[in-house]
Structure 1
Amino acid sequence: MNAPSAPLKQETRRVFVSVKMHDGDRFRGYVHLAPGERIQDLLNDERKFFPIQMNSDVGEMAILSKKFVVSVEEVDDNKARSFAFS
């Protein structure tokens, strides 16, 4: 008898963030958090990397190593909307 499969897609919420890396580079984009999850939960879970959606129009993604992240700051929604993706 087969066990019921888990849903492939989990509902998440997008949070616009600015990520500062150890070498001074900055990434701005969206991270996806599970319901009730905070940015610090994402940074403190067992995964060594996390994805950030760099461009909302074409779905460009970067995979960042937590090892090299200095800080992650949530950016206000209004600022996120006015931010021009390059």
Structure 2
Amino acid sequence: MAKHTQAHLTRAVDRTAPDGLKDLTRKKMEYYMGAKLIEIGVEPTSAVYRWTTEFKGTKEVYTCSAYWGDSKAKLQEGSE
């Protein structure tokens, strides 16, 4: 079975929420992603992270993506 080389975490926040709550949500996501990577045996500092924000109706949808191994190499190859 192939090993996973990427992970994604998504959270939605109300657009009218205070900026402090939005920042806190992103920090929590970053912490949780790091914990999950440790749980599966990946060093969080070795992964590459990408953030996206989408606007859907009255919500802002944040997605934190982490890439390591083959996915990290492909991502870095594409950005050169």
TM-score normalised by L of structure 1: 0.25
Higher relative contact order (Cα pairs below 8 Å, separated by 6+ residues): 2
User: What TM-score, normalized by structure 2, do the two folds share?
Assistant: 0.26
Name whichever structure is richer in helix by fraction: 2
